[in-house]
Structure 1
Amino acid sequence: MATSRISFRMAQAFGVVGAAWLSGNIAALSLISVPALSRSQAQDSVQPGILSKQWKYNYEAGKTQNPPVAVAVAASFSYLAWSVRSGTQLGRLAPAHSVQLFSTAAILTIGIIPYTIIAMRPTNNKLLAKAEQEFDLKGASASVTSDDREVGELLKKWTFLNGIRSLMPLLGSAAALLAA
């Protein structure tokens, strides 16, 4: 029983901290990175092609890093829900509704993946297409073009959608804390 309690506590710590870290990692893009890109467009007349390529590098880093973290954290929460199910030794010691709270935490955390695919894919694809376009870097003027506005609007939309996505693991972390 002592070993299962230690494993349980380690899974709790990993899940709560991992979900909170994931939330912060995702939110940093909406709160710091993309606003800095938008600022470089507004203040330094950075062209939309360069701006969208810079966004693409952030996107690729997040796409590589965040889904595996979400899967690991959701697996931890799933283990916790399984551990406190009815009829188990830990289940008798756990607060009421722990199974539901840990399950909710797992669903919210892993939910960043389908949310990205369903809600964010159209915006992502448009920004990625902009990043792949060839732009004339030598003869560009400082005037605002339709591409400038379109990339700016896409970045605003992406920032909003990503901000919502960042709340999912944060809520998952809070649900797991309530279960503890």
Structure 2
Amino acid sequence: MMALATFFPTADTEEFDMLSEFVKNNADLIDLLGLHLAISYLLSGKGEVRFLSAGLGWAAAHSIASYALFFFVGARTTAFHWKYIQTALESNIDLVFYLSMATLVWLFNRSDLNVSTRRLVYALLAFCIFHSFIYEVLYYKFLIRSWQFLITKAVLTGALGVLTTMSYSGIYISQNKNN
């Protein structure tokens, strides 16, 4: 957050500036670096457990930082509003996203990936870095709002999860063929 506030000031206009938003989302590389450090150096145990615990912790920290105050202040009122349901669903989508991202960071460090799986991991990591930019383009340029935006985000994150699972399972299929 400090890097974003220091190096990427917000524009005074309300318009969507594609170049500045693209450059801002490059700061997500710091997230990937932090996740890599957490998986590789801060957690002990088997690799399969380390990336799951790091991803779950990262998702929990994101949910607390992004949604906890919103739920605590707003959801306690007596009036029902659909935005709380949407926010809860978005929090679950973010959980799948951060678990997939942690898995991809762990797969990135593996040396036993075949070439096609490695390329898929690189492409999915690029999506993880620029996911906010992609969502902002969908929101501002294609005017996808509210429930359609949530469904689009769920579909893209679900595809990320499925492709990540395929990459992860490809390791064990190739290991079993070699044995």
TM-score (structure 1 length as normaliser): 0.38
TM-score (structure 2 length as normaliser): 0.38
Rg: which structure is higher?
A: 1
Higher relative CO (Cα under 8 Å, sequence separation at least 6) belongs to 1
Choose between structure 1 and 2: higher helix proportion.
1
